[in-house]
Amino acid sequence: MFRKLFSFKGGIKPDTYKAVSTREPIGIAPLPSTLIVPLHQHAGGRAIPRVRAGDRVLKGQCIGEADGWISSAVHAPASGKVLAVENRMAAHPSGLPTLSVVIEPDGLDEWACLHPLRYQALSPEKTRECLRDAGIVGLGGAAFPTHAKLSAAKQTAMEAIVINGAECEPFMTCDDMLMRERAEGIVSGAAFFRELLDPKKVLIGIEDNKPEAIAAMSEAAKRFGSDFEVIAIPARYPAGGAKQLIRALTGKEIPASRRSPEMGVQCFNVGTAYSAWRFITFGEPLVSRIVTLTGNVENARNWETRIGTPFREFVALGHPGHDTNGFLMGGPMMGFEIPGMDAPVVKSSNCVIAAATSLFPPPPAEMPCIRCGSCAEACPHELQPFELYRFARVKNFDRAREFALDECIECGCCAYVCPSRIPLVQYFRFAKSGVQARLREKEKAESARSRVERRKAREARAKAEKAERLAAGAQASGMDASKKTAVQAAIERARQDRETIQAGNANDAETGDRYDEGQPR
Amino acid sequence: MLTVIFPMTLGAAALGAMLGWASVRFRVDGSPLIDEIENALPQTQCGQCGFPGCRAYAEAIENGARIDLCPPGGEAGARRLADLLGRDPPAPGMEEPSPQAAVIDEQRCIGCTLCIQACPVDAIVGAAKQLHTVVGTLCTGCELCVPPCPMECIQMKAVTENIDNWAWKYPVFGIRRVN
Amino acid sequence: MTRKPAIDTTKGSRVEMTEKFHRNEEQNKPDRPELPGSSATGFISPPYLSRNASVRRVMVQVLAALLPGIVVYAALIGPAIVLQLSIASVTALLAEAAMLKLRGRALFPFLTDGSALVTAWLIALTFPPIAPWWLTVIGVLMAIVITKHLYGGLGQNPFNPAMAGFAACLVSFPALMSQWPSVTAPAHFIDQAAAIFGGARSLDALTSATPLDALKTALRLAGPGATVSAALADTNIYGYVAGRAWEWVAAAYLLGGLWLAGRKIIRWHAPAGFLSGLALISAACWLSDPERFASPLFHVFSGGALLGAFFIVTDPVSGCISGKGKFIFGFSAGILAYIIRVFGGYPDGVAFAVLILNLCAPLIDALTRPPIFGMKKK
**Distance, in angstroms, between A363 CA and closest chain C CA?**
7
User: Is C373 close to A415, i.e. CB distance below 8 A?
Assistant: no
Note which residues in 75-114 of chain A have CB less than 8 A from chain B: 90, 92-94, 96-98
Mean pLDDT of all residues in A472-497: 71
Task: For residue C7, give how far its alpha carbon lies from the nearest alpha carbon of chain B (Å).
Answer: 7
Residue A520 has pLDDT above 80, yes or no: no
Decide if C105 touches B, using CB distance below 8 A: yes
Range A221-229 average pLDDT: 89
DSSP per-residue codes, C70-108 = HHHHHHHT-THHHHHHHHHHHHHHHHHHHHHHHHT--HH
Looking at residue C13, what is its pLDDT? 34
Average pLDDT of the residues of chain A: 88
The full set of domain ranges for chain A reads 19-304, 363-470
For a pLDDT cut of 90, what percent of chain A falls above it? 64
At residue B177, does pLDDT exceed 50?
A: no
C-beta of residue C147 within 8 angstroms of C-beta of residue C157: yes
What is the phi/psi pair of residue A102, to 5°? -100, 125
Residue C12 has pLDDT above 80, yes or no: no
Q: Residue C158's pLDDT is what?
A: 93
Alpha carbon distance C38, A284 (integer Å): 41
DSSP line for A76-127? -SSSEEEEEEEEEE-SSTT--EEEEEEEEE-S--PBPP-----GGGS-HHHH
Is residue A283 within 8 A of residue A114, CB to CB? The reply is: yes
Candidate from C7, C37, C107 with C-beta closest to B106? C7
For residue B97, pLDDT over 90 is answered with: no
The answer to whether residue C106 scores a pLDDT higher than 60 is yes
Q: Span B37-45, mean pLDDT?
A: 85
Predicted local distance difference test score (pLDDT) of residue C20: 34
Q: Is the per-residue pLDDT at C182 higher than 60?
A: yes
- Alpha-carbon distances, residue C166 vs A361, B119, C67 (angstroms): 41, 69, 20
- Strands A265-269 and A160-165, bridge-based pairing: parallel
ipTM tops the 0.90 cut: no
**Residue range A58-107, pLDDT digits in tens:** 999 999 999 989 999 999 999 999 999 999 999 998 888 999 999 999 99
Say whether pLDDT at A482 is over 80: no
Mean pLDDT in residue range A335-350: 92
CA A176 to chain centre: 23
Determine the residue of chain B that is closest to C4 in CA distance.
B107
pLDDT higher than 60, residue B36: yes
Segment (H or E) for A351: strand A351-355
Please write the tens of the pLDDT for every residue from C260-302: 999 989 999 999 999 999 999 999 999 998 888 889 999 999 8
CA dist., res. C41 & res. A355, Å (int)? 7
Q: State whether B147 and A518 contact (CB < 8 Å).
A: yes
Topology given in CATH for the domain delimited by B98-161: Alpha-Beta Plaits (3.30.70)
- For A407-458, write each residue's pLDDT tens digit: 999 999 999 999 999 999 999 999 999 899 888 888 888 888 888 889 989 9
* CA C7 to centroid of chain Cα atoms: 73
Give mean pLDDT, residues A379-394: 92
Mean pLDDT of A205-225: 93
> How many CA atoms are closer than 13 Å to the CA of B28, on its beta-carbon side?
6
**Statement: residue C375 has pLDDT above 90:** no
pLDDT at C225: 67
User: How much of chain C, in percent, has pLDDT values that exceed 70?
Assistant: 84
- Is A404 close to C27, i.e. CB distance below 8 A? no
Q: What is the pLDDT of residue C200?
A: 52
Contact yes or no for C45 and B171 at CB 8 A: yes
* Residue-level pLDDT at C88: 96
| Chain mean position to CA A90 | 13
More confident residue, A97 or C19: A97
**pLDDT in the model for residue A304:** 95
- H/E element, A463: helix A424-476
Question: Which of C1, C2, C7, C55 is most worth mutating to test chain B (most B CB atoms within 10 A of its CB)?
Answer: C7
Spell out the CATH class of B32-85.
mainly alpha
pLDDT 10s digits, C221-269: 666 667 777 777 777 777 777 778 889 999 999 999 999 999 989 999 9
pLDDT in tens, C22-80: 333 333 333 433 334 446 777 778 899 988 889 999 999 999 999 999 999 999 888 88
Cis peptide before C47 (omega within 30 of 0): yes
Q: Does A445 touch chain B (CB under 8 A)?
A: yes
Q: What value does the mean pLDDT of chain C take?
A: 83
DSSP-derived 3-state class of residue C28: helix
pLDDT tens digits for range A110-136: 999 999 988 888 998 999 999 999 999
| pLDDT for the residue B158 | 87
Distance CA A432, CA B167 (A): 9
Model pLDDT for residues A279-306, shown as the tens digit of each residue: 999 999 999 999 999 999 999 999 999 9
Q: Would you tell me how many other CB atoms lie within 10 Å of the CB of residue A97?
A: 21
Q: What is the pLDDT of residues B126-142, one digit of tens each?
A: 888 888 999 888 888 88
- List the single residue in A258, A360, A412 with the smallest CB-CB distance to C41: A360
CB C76 within 8 A of CB C248: yes
Q: pLDDT (tens digit, 9 = 90+) per residue, C333-344?
A: 999 999 998 888
Q: How far apart are CA A249 and CA A261, in angstroms?
A: 15
CATH topology of domain A19-304: Rossmann fold (3.40.50)
Q: Which of A297-306, B92-101, B115-124, C192-201 is modeled with the greatest confidence? A: A297-306
Q: What phi and psi values does residue A165 have, to the nearest 5 degrees?
A: -115, 20
pLDDT at C11 over 50: no
pLDDT score at A204: 95
**pLDDT, tens digit, 9 for 90 and up, residues C144-154:** 999 999 999 99
A84 contacts: CB under 8 Å, gap ≥ 6: A53, A101, A102
Calpha distance A77→A35 (Å, rounded)? 8
Could you give the 3-state DSSP secondary structure of residue A265? strand
The predicted pLDDT at position C151 comes to: 93
pTM of the model: 0.83
pLDDT at C2 over 50: no
Q: Which residues of A touch C47 (CB under 8 A)?
A: 332-334, 412, 415-416, 425
Amino acid at B172: V
Among B41, B121, B164, the residue to mutate for chain A (most A Cβ within 10 A)? B121
Cβ contacts of residue C18 below 8 Å, gap of 6+?
none
Residue B53: CB atoms within 10 Å: 21
Q: Per the CB < 8 Å rule, is C47 touching A415?
A: yes
Interface residue A370 vs chain B (CB under 8 A) = no
